DNA sequence: ATATGGTTGGTTGTTTTAACCAACTAACTG
DNA sequence: CAGTTAGTTGGTTAAAACAACCAACCATAT
């Protein structure tokens, strides 16, 4: 992969100068991404779409063929003239490793460059010794490789709950597992020096990335917010196809915005956070208090129980989830007004009862939306078929293969 | 100025291919901006900062000298070796026009490329006939030019209250002046066909741009939110030196996020919007209700009156503004958690009583900030000495002279 | 005072890279 | 075999990199 020139951030402009190598790298990345997104696609179509001369396209495509990142195949049923040579991503050649470290479970996967997961495994998260656990994770990942007869990994991506300094591969603050300033990048580089591309990111942000790269919606998503509804609420904000990281890597903490002055106590210590109303934790608490009030005896349930009950038309469960839907709607309205995204994509167990929550969400949002365009907002469950946070880890790794400099106007 | 290649937005990547002209244009823009931000600066320093070879820098600088965008001057007091030739922006050569259309007043200015305003004027806003009024504005602007013996304008920038489609130069929705889908760009192009660069933008967003380009803070601002506190509350979000526009050009409508369920009625029709508590309108209403309760007789004041009273230590005015400060703090806390900016920059009449409101704001924010880093947030009054909205219009225009493609990693 | 080496800033002529261009070949249809 | 579309080849051009050079200054030795 191409070596990058030093990037100097000076005042109001990110200064990156351009030389011929950067030019090639930008155009190569652009063509490779076009093939990824539009396959099958011919050289001539790439030329017309990109504006690059067809001989330039041929030259870059020839490089990509040599690198075995793509392959070509004659198209048969053309109407007139010579048939184009369709280009496709080549699978089965380059692989990446994905790790998702969650408070309870850590999951592993090997993924191909199209985001398909080749093999998976998981272990309980052992957070007391960060360095040892990350090394243990790498052993697990390499074990998966061996099992699948994969000799080496192009890149590794790690997604994790908490605030992550992705630029420096450091987990700054992960209260759920008690980690602070853990340099995951350094640990991995030490353990696996042969793997040059390591990415580390927040789980909700990486889920957003997975949705951006591998989501299947009718929309052309480039501006959206991915909402990860779990015990808490996390999010990833995507603006013009890029993740908004935040100055201190803490963007998208909508879960801790105050919606109710003097409201319910949140795990963060403040009162009235959105999370204290719309998260799984809040939903479960509300359900329990309802049942306890009704029956007098205490119950012990988890989110999945409430969902199953609702799917079986249990009245209290349905009522509880509808309330959660309304609370979700309130917070989502504020997100829409803040960011003005094209869509809100939701992930988490709760999307199993989409039919229950969606009408509540959209009613609130429509009522509160104040501009004509904002009423067009799309609120959708994630289209991903595998766990977004794990695919997100894979996506961060895959991104290092496809991405390079980008040029913007 | 350099002609741009067609930009095709396709799925998840903005496709811009690169050829040698784009390369030159990127490097030229980078050097020109370096001179703008760091002047005086020598060729050799530019070379070292940018990574470009010094011969390349010399070549581009020679172009800029020919275009008379910059000038050079020998530096005298060097320690050792040949003295560098310091490069400076050349003023008095290229000018831009700025128009700020507000609900009551429309202001005009001619600005030099360093953002200094050469001459100014204003008229009452006449909103009933948009096309006629915009043409009238152009006549005013050209009149200012004549008065200052300026032959032509390089660019024109128009900032306006409301939702603006900056890409297409259309005012989509401006309820304050009753405009809807007014194609300002087309009107200006028709009226002044010789002016090729026209920019149109929301007033708060353009204020943010002005702060980004011409603000004087100790901070290196590249991620921040500009809050414009007027009768309502507008904002401009800057992420990595770029304005966040929003899918429907409606980002940053924090003023209409709900902070109080079932709270005060807002002009937008909803209940409990931030704006209904922290804006000038809300402040004035709160002050009036306090005074009426105390004295029994009704009063009629405007925001500036309350500010003057507070500056003269009037107790009720101070109390009212302190309350506004606390409400501001609540909303700002939510912005910080949503966007995670490096700073919040505030504009509007209320910053005249910064000493009154700041302690209230920061107390609330510190209490609610939940992550270590977020506690470092900078909340500051605007550093701009002229009206941000007018300078913002000028900045949009100036930006067209300096900006071109940018390369990001 | 003046020559000289050391140092920094800037220019010039050549080389290299990669995109562009125009003419060509390839492969297909009717 | 003409017409059409896809892709390649060889030469051209633009621009950055490179290396050698010139310019201008200082300190110091003579």
pLDDT in tens, A251-283: 999 999 999 988 999 988 889 999 999 999 999
Per-residue confidence (pLDDT) for residue A9, from 0 to 100: 37
Select from B285, B350, B274 the least CA-distant residue to B311: B350
Higher-confidence position of A292 and B53: B53
| Separation between the CA of A42 and the C1’ of C23 (whole angstroms) | 22
Quick one: B227 and B313 in the same domain? yes
| Separation between the CA of A73 and the C1’ of C27 (whole angstroms) | 14
Per-residue confidence (pLDDT) for residue B406, from 0 to 100: 79
Helix or strand holding residue B236 (H, E): strand B233-239
Q: How confident is the model at residue B1 (pLDDT cuts 50, 70, 90)?
A: very low
| CA A347/CA A337 separation, integer angstroms | 21
Quick one: B125 and B39 in the same domain? no
Q: Is residue A3 part of a domain?
A: no
Which chain A residue is nearest to residue B241, measuring alpha carbons? A12
| Separation between the CA of B47 and the C1’ of D23 (whole angstroms) | 19
**Chain A 76-135, CB < 7 Å to strand D:** 78, 80-85
CA dihedral defined by A151, A153, A158, A164, rounded to 10 degrees? 140
Please provide residue B400's backbone torsions phi and psi, each rounded to the nearest 5 degrees. -70, -25
Cα angle A356, A358, A360; round to 5: 85
Please provide residue B192's backbone torsions phi and psi, each rounded to the nearest 5 degrees. -125, 75
Inter-CA distances, B152 with A326, B119, B149, Å: 56, 14, 9
Arithmetic mean of pLDDT, A229-242: 96
Q: How confident is the model at residue A373 (pLDDT cuts 50, 70, 90)?
A: low
Residue A59 has pLDDT above 70, yes or no: yes
Quick one: B359 and B397 in the same domain? no
Residue A369 token pair? 């939306």
Select from B139, B140, B183 the least CA-distant residue to B160: B183
Q: Is residue A1 part of a domain?
A: no
CB contact under 8 A, B172 and A260: no
Length of chain B: 409
Partners of residue B26 in chain A, C-beta under 8 Å: 17-18, 407
Higher-confidence position of B212 and B298: B212
Range with the poorest average pLDDT among A134-138, A284-288, B124-128, B368-372: B368-372
Partners of residue A8 in chain B, C-beta under 8 Å: 49-51
Arithmetic mean of pLDDT, B331-341: 96
CB contact under 8 A, A37 and B12: yes
Higher-confidence position of A190 and B79: A190
Arithmetic mean of pLDDT, A315-342: 96
pLDDT digits (tens, 9 = 90+) for B373-396: 567 899 999 999 999 999 999 999
Residue nearest to nucleotide D10 (CA to C1'): A55
Arithmetic mean of pLDDT, B28-35: 96
DSSP string, B128-193: SSHHHHHHHHHHHHHHHHHHTT----SEEEEEESSEEETTTTEEEEETTTTEEEEEHHHHHHHH-T
Average of per-residue pLDDT values in chain A: 91
Q: Is residue A110 part of a domain?
A: yes
Nearest beta carbon to residue B163 from set A16, A335, A371: A371
Structurally, chain B folds into a number of domains equal to: 3
Per-residue confidence (pLDDT) for residue A81, from 0 to 100: 84
CB B224, CB B215: distance < 8 Å: no
3-state secondary structure of B20: helix
Per-residue confidence (pLDDT) for residue A371, from 0 to 100: 64
| Separation between the CA of B36 and the C1’ of D25 (whole angstroms) | 27
Nearest beta carbon to residue B18 from set A27, A245, A338: A27
Per-residue confidence (pLDDT) for residue A296, from 0 to 100: 64
CB contact under 8 A, B339 and A251: yes
Per-residue confidence (pLDDT) for residue B14, from 0 to 100: 62
Arithmetic mean of pLDDT, B280-291: 95
A–B interface: beta-carbon pairs under 8 A: 269
| Separation between the CA of A75 and the C1’ of D8 (whole angstroms) | 19
Nearest beta carbon to residue B340 from set A239, A248, A330: A248
Which distant-in-sequence residues (6+ apart) come within 8 Å of A209 by Cβ?
A201, A236, A238, A243, A392, A395, A396, A399
Residue B340 token pair? 């995670």
Residue A404 token pair? 């390079």
Quick one: B15 and B70 in the same domain? yes
Q: Which residue range(s) make up the domain with B319?
A: 217-382
Quick one: A394 and A251 in the same domain? no
Residue B134 has pLDDT above 60, yes or no: yes
Listed in order, strand segments (DSSP E) in B4-116 are 8-10, 13-15, 70-74, 85-89, 95-101, 105-112
| Separation between the CA of B83 and the C1’ of D21 (whole angstroms) | 18
pLDDT digits (tens, 9 = 90+) for B65-81: 999 999 999 887 767 88
Residue nearest to nucleotide C29 (CA to C1'): A80
| Separation between the CA of B43 and the C1’ of D30 (whole angstroms) | 37
Q: How confident is the model at residue B8 (pLDDT cuts 50, 70, 90)?
A: very low
Partners of residue A34 in chain B, C-beta under 8 Å: 10, 13, 15
Q: Which of B246, B277, B363, B404 to mutate to test the interface with A (most CBs of A within 10 A)?
A: B246
Residue nearest to nucleotide C26 (CA to C1'): A82
Quick one: A80 and A105 in the same domain? no
Quick one: A176 and A312 in the same domain? no
- Asked if the Cβ of residue A276 lies within 7 A of any atom of strand D, the reply is no
Q: How confident is the model at residue A223 (pLDDT cuts 50, 70, 90)?
A: very high
Per-residue confidence (pLDDT) for residue A297, from 0 to 100: 66
Which chain A residue is nearest to residue B271, measuring alpha carbons? A368
Residue B183 has pLDDT above 60, yes or no: yes
Q: What percent of chain A has pLDDT over 70?
A: 94
Decide which of B89, B117, B135 is a domain's last residue.
Answer: B89
Q: Is residue B397 part of a domain?
A: yes
| CA A160/CA B34 separation, integer angstroms | 38
Q: Is residue A408 part of a domain?
A: no
pLDDT digits (tens, 9 = 90+) for B150-180: 999 999 999 999 999 999 999 999 988 999 9
Q: How confident is the model at residue A298 (pLDDT cuts 50, 70, 90)?
A: low
- Asked if the Cβ of residue A299 lies within 7 A of any atom of strand D, the reply is no
Quick one: B102 and B83 in the same domain? no
Per-residue confidence (pLDDT) for residue A182, from 0 to 100: 97
CB contact under 8 A, B406 and A407: yes
Quick one: A262 and A297 in the same domain? yes
Q: How confident is the model at residue B129 (pLDDT cuts 50, 70, 90)?
A: very high
Which residues interact with strand C by a CB < 7 Å criterion?
A 20-21, 23-24, 27, 51-56, 59-60, 74, 78-83; B 17-20, 42-45, 54-55, 58-59, 61-62, 78, 80-85
Average of per-residue pLDDT values in chain B: 92
Nucleotides of C strand lying within 7 Å of any protein CB atom: 6-13, 16-22, 26-30
CB contact under 8 A, A250 and B374: yes
Partners of residue A339 in chain B, C-beta under 8 Å: 244, 246, 251, 338
| Separation between the CA of A44 and the C1’ of D4 (whole angstroms) | 14
Decide which of B63, B89, B115 is a domain's last residue.
Answer: B89
CB contact under 8 A, B407 and A409: no
Q: How confident is the model at residue B306 (pLDDT cuts 50, 70, 90)?
A: very high
CB contact under 8 A, B37 and A330: no
CB B389, CB B207: distance < 8 Å: yes
CB contact under 8 A, A244 and B330: no
| CA B373/CA A246 separation, integer angstroms | 11
Please provide residue B276's backbone torsions phi and psi, each rounded to the nearest 5 degrees. -75, 0
Quick one: B378 and B342 in the same domain? yes
Bin B63: left if φ > 0, else alpha if -120 < ψ < 50, else beta: alpha
Domain CATH number, residue A181: 3.30.420.40
Q: Is residue A407 part of a domain?
A: no
Q: Is residue A263 part of a domain?
A: yes
Nucleotides of D strand lying within 7 Å of any protein CB atom: 3-11, 13-19, 23-27
Quick one: A252 and A353 in the same domain? yes
Per-residue confidence (pLDDT) for residue A300, from 0 to 100: 82
| CA A153/CA A108 separation, integer angstroms | 13
Which distant-in-sequence residues (6+ apart) come within 8 Å of A119 by Cβ?
A109, A110, A144, A147, A148
Q: Is residue B408 part of a domain?
A: no
Quick one: B281 and B238 in the same domain? yes
Per-residue confidence (pLDDT) for residue A2, from 0 to 100: 33
Which chain B residue is nearest to residue A213, measuring alpha carbons? B12
CB contact under 8 A, A339 and B246: yes
Per-residue confidence (pLDDT) for residue B19, from 0 to 100: 86
Domain CATH number, residue A62: 1.10.10.10
Per-residue confidence (pLDDT) for residue B128, from 0 to 100: 94
């Amino acid at each position: 992969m191409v070596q990058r020139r030093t990037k100097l951030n000076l005042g109001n402009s990110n200064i990156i100068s351009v030389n011929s190598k950067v030019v090639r790298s930008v155009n190569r990345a652009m063509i490779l991404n076009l093939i990824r997104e539009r396959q099958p696609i011919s050289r001539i179509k790439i030329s017309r779409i990109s504006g690059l001369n067809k001989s330039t396209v041929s030259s870059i495509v020839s490089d990509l063929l040599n690198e075995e990142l793509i392959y070509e195949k004659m198209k048969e049923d053309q109407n007139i003239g010579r048939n184009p040579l369709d280009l496709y991503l080549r699978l089965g050649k380059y692989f990446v490793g994905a790790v998702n470290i969650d408070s309870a479970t850590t999951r592993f996967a090997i993924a191909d460059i199209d985001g398909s997961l080749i093999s998976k495994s998981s272990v309980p998260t052992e957070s007391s010794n960060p360095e040892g656990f990350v090394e243990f994770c790498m052993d697990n990942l390499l074990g998966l490789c061996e099992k699948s007869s994969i000799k080496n990994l192009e890149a590794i991506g790690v997604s994790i709950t908490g605030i992550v300094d992705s630029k420096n591969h450091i987990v700054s603050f992960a209260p759920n597992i008690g980690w602070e300033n853990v340099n995951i990048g350094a640990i991995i580089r030490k353990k696996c020096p042969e793997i040059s591309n390591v990415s580390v990111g927040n789980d909700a942000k990486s889920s957003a990335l997975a949705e951006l790269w591998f989501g299947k919606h009718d929309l052309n998503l480039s501006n959206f917010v991915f909402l990860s509804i779990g015990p808490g609420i996390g999010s990833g904000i995507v603006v013009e196809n890029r993740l908004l990281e935040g100055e201190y890597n803490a963007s998208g903490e909508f879960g801790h915005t105050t919606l109710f002055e003097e409201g319910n106590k949140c795990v963060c210590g403040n009162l009235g956070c959105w999370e204290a109303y719309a998260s799984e934790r809040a939903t479960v608490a509300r359900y329990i208090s309802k049942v306890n009030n009704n029956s007098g005896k205490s119950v012990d349930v988890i989110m999945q129980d409430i969902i199953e009950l609702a799917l079986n038309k249990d009245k209290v469960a349905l009522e509880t989830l509808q309330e959660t839907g309304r609370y979700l709607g309130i917070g989502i309205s504020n997100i829409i007004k803040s960011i003005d995204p094209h869509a809100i994509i939701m992930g988490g167990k709760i999307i199993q009862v989409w039919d229950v929550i969606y009408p509540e969400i959209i009613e609130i949002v429509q009522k509160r939306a104040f501009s004509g365009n904002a009423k067009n907002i799309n609120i959708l469950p994630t289209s991903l078929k595998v766990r977004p946070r794990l695919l997100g880890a894979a996506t961060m790794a895959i991104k290092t293969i496809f991405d390079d400099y980008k040029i913007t106007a």
